[in-house]
Amino acid sequence: MKILLGISGASGAIYGVRAGAALLAAGVELHLLVTKIAWEIIAAELPEGPPPPSASARKRWIARLMSAPPGMCRLHPEDDFRIPFASGSNPPDAVVIAPCSMGMLGRIACGVSTSVLERCADVALKERKPLVLVPRETPLSCIHLENMLSLSRAGADILPACPGFYHRPASVLDLVDFVVSRILSRVGVGAALYPGWGEAAEEEEERKTRRAEPAGRLRRDR
């Protein structure tokens, strides 16, 4: 399965990094596109600091962020329209943009491909391939909402970075991975990071039962 993961210039770069790590762990063929502003946001938001300047060093650097060898993911130049997936003759199996800035979302909604990543999203829509957009913005203006509605009608999945809490998160990464788990399910990768609604309660009950059983047997033995 070939998946293109785009990281655009919105706060929340960790969503893209964690999504990449999860997709690689699931065994997909991962292709990466990182916008110029996204590199700056990664440097500002993640503790690893600024990425190296050269393309080859950046490939190794971001692979380490995703806990993978460099050869497991392919980092494409942001400005090269000759890359795979920029043509309908070679569409990916799915495109994920996490996070997706409101500017990029608006341009995709209007069919304006000013960048390679926008063009690849356009290809996914026209070829009826899954397109998952993870906007991280609040509050939303009516322009944002109308653009999201247009994309939803065109076949895209709008998956806001809005984590749930029923899995009882204990860290920021737990909140991030909740969203990542939903991303994986939308592209057909069966590797949920957390149990679904209702499953968590069942697992907790099973744990309580297992903990109670030895004590019960001990009382009966006495």
* Cβ-Cβ contacts under 8 Å for 118 (sequence gap 6 or more): 104, 107, 108, 112
Query: What are 36-70's pLDDT values in tens digits?
Result: 999 999 999 998 878 888 888 898 899 999 988 87
Query: What are 167-182's pLDDT values in tens digits?
Result: 899 999 999 999 999 9
CA dist 84 and 132 (Å) reads 18
Average pLDDT over residues 116-124: 97
Q: Residue 83 — left, alpha, or beta (φ > 0 → left; ψ -120 to 50 → alpha)?
A: beta
Query: What are 17-30's pLDDT values in tens digits?
Result: 999 999 999 999 99
CA dist 40 and 136 (Å) reads 17
Q: Is it true that domain 2-191 has CATH number 3.40.50.1820?
A: no
Structure tokens that stand for 222 in this block: 């006495």
Average pLDDT over residues 182-205: 73
